[in-house]
Structure 1
Amino acid sequence: MTQATPAGEAPNEAPDRDWRIIGLIGTGHFLSHFYMLCLAPLFPIWREEFGVSYAVLGLSVALMSAVTALLQTPVGFLVDRHGARPYLVGGTLIMALSISAMALAPNYWVILGLAVLSGIGNSVIHPADYAILGSSIGEKRIGRAFAMHTFTGNLGFALAPLAIGAMTQGMGLGWRAALLTVGLLGVPVVAAILLQSGILKDQARPKKGGAPIGRQVLLSRTMLMFFAFFLLSAMAGVGVQSFLIATLDRLWSTPLAVASITLTAYVAGATGGVLIGGWYADRHSSHFTFVTGLTALAIILFLAMGLVPLPDPLLPVVALAAGTALGASRTPRDVMVKHAAPPGQMGKVFGFISSGLPLGGAITPVPFGLMLDNGVPWLVLPCVALLLLLSLLCAGTARGGALRASRSTVPAPAE
Structure 2
Amino acid sequence: MAIFPSNFLSRSQALAPDPVSLSKPRRTLAATGMNHALHDGYTDLIYVLLPVWQGEFALSYGLLAIMRGLYSVAMAGLQIPISHLAERIDGKILLALGTMVAALGYVLAGLSGSVVGLGLALLVSGAGASTQHPLASAAVSRAYGQAARGPLGIYNFSGDLGKATLPALTAMLLVIVSWRHALLLIALMGLLVALCLALLMPTVGKDFAQTSAVTTHGTNPGRGGFSWLLAIGILDSAVRMGFLTFLPFLLRDKGASLPTSGVALAMLFIGGAAGKFTCGWLGARIGTIRTVLLTEGGTAALIVAVLLLPLIPAIIVLPLLGVMLNGTSSVLYGTVSELTSPDRTERAFALFYTGTIGSGATAPVLYGLLGDSLGPTLATVATAATALAICPLALLLGSHLADGGRA
Report 1:250-265 matches (<5 A).
Answer: 250=253, 252-253=254-255, 256-265=258-267
Asked if 2 retains the 8 angstrom alpha-carbon contact of 1:234 and 1:356, the reply is no
Q: Secondary structure at the match of 2:78?
A: helix
Report 1:202-281 matches (<5 A).
Answer: 203-205=208-210, 206-207=212-213, 222-250=225-253, 252-253=254-255, 256-281=258-283
Determine the C-alpha separation between the residues in 1 that align with 2:389 and 2:224. Answer: 16
| Structure index of larger Rg | 2
| 1:381 and 2:384 correspond | no
1:26 is matched with 33
| TM-aligned CA deviation for residue 375 of structure 1 | 5.4
Determine the C-alpha separation between the residues in 1 that align with 2:89 and 2:18. Answer: 20
Asked if 2 retains the 8 angstrom alpha-carbon contact of 1:72 and 1:127, the reply is yes
Q: CA RMSD in A?
A: 2.9
| TM-aligned CA deviation for residue 160 of structure 1 | 3.2
Which residue of 179, 194, 197 corresponds with 1:175? 179
| TM-aligned CA deviation for residue 113 of structure 1 | 0.6
Q: Any idea what the Cα deviations from partners look like across 1:140-171, whole Å, max 9, x if unmatched?
A: 4x2332112211212222233312210012xx
Asked if 2 retains the 8 angstrom alpha-carbon contact of 1:12 and 1:137, the reply is no
Determine the C-alpha separation between the residues in 1 that align with 2:109 and 2:145. Answer: 40
| TM-aligned CA deviation for residue 124 of structure 1 | 1.0
CA, structure 1 residues 12+223, in 2 after alignment: closer, same or farther (shift >3 Å)? Answer: farther
| TM-aligned CA deviation for residue 101 of structure 1 | 2.3
| TM-aligned CA deviation for residue 177 of structure 1 | 0.7
2:130 is matched with 123
Q: Give the 4+ runs in structure 1 shifted more than 6 A.
A: 10-15, 411-415
1:61 is matched with 68
1:95 is matched with 102
Q: Secondary structure at the match of 1:185?
A: helix
Determine the C-alpha separation between the residues in 2 that align with 1:341 and 1:221. Answer: 8
CA, structure 1 residues 319+412, in 2 after alignment: closer, same or farther (shift >3 Å)? Answer: closer
Q: Secondary structure at the match of 2:342?
A: coil
TM-score by length of structure 2 reads: 0.85
Report 1:65-84 matches (<5 A).
Answer: 65-84=72-91
Asked if 2 retains the 8 angstrom alpha-carbon contact of 1:11 and 1:136, the reply is no
| 1:186 and 2:193 correspond | no
| TM-aligned CA deviation for residue 344 of structure 1 | 1.4
Determine the C-alpha separation between the residues in 2 that align with 1:389 and 1:159. Answer: 33
| 1:394 and 2:400 correspond | no
Asked if 1 retains the 8 angstrom alpha-carbon contact of 2:233 and 2:332, the reply is no
Q: Any idea what the Cα deviations from partners look like across 1:255-308, whole Å, max 9, x if unmatched?
A: 5555443333222111111111133244x15221122122212211112222x2
Supply the AA of the counterpart residue of 2:137. Answer: Y
Supply the AA of the counterpart residue of 2:322. Answer: G
Determine the C-alpha separation between the residues in 2 that align with 1:176 and 1:188. Answer: 19
CA, structure 1 residues 236+12, in 2 after alignment: closer, same or farther (shift >3 Å)? Answer: farther
Determine the C-alpha separation between the residues in 1 that align with 2:53 and 2:217. Answer: 51
Determine the C-alpha separation between the residues in 1 that align with 2:135 and 2:298. Answer: 33
| TM-aligned CA deviation for residue 200 of structure 1 | 4.2
| TM-aligned CA deviation for residue 353 of structure 1 | 0.8
Q: Secondary structure at the match of 2:37?
A: helix
Determine the C-alpha separation between the residues in 2 that align with 1:145 and 1:210. Answer: 23
Asked if 1 retains the 8 angstrom alpha-carbon contact of 2:99 and 2:128, the reply is yes
Supply the AA of the counterpart residue of 2:81. Answer: P
| TM-aligned CA deviation for residue 107 of structure 1 | 1.9
Query: Which structure has the highest helix share of the two?
Result: 2
Determine the C-alpha separation between the residues in 1 that align with 2:136 and 2:302. Answer: 33
2:159 is matched with 153
| 1:44 and 2:44 correspond | no
TM-score by length of structure 1 reads: 0.84
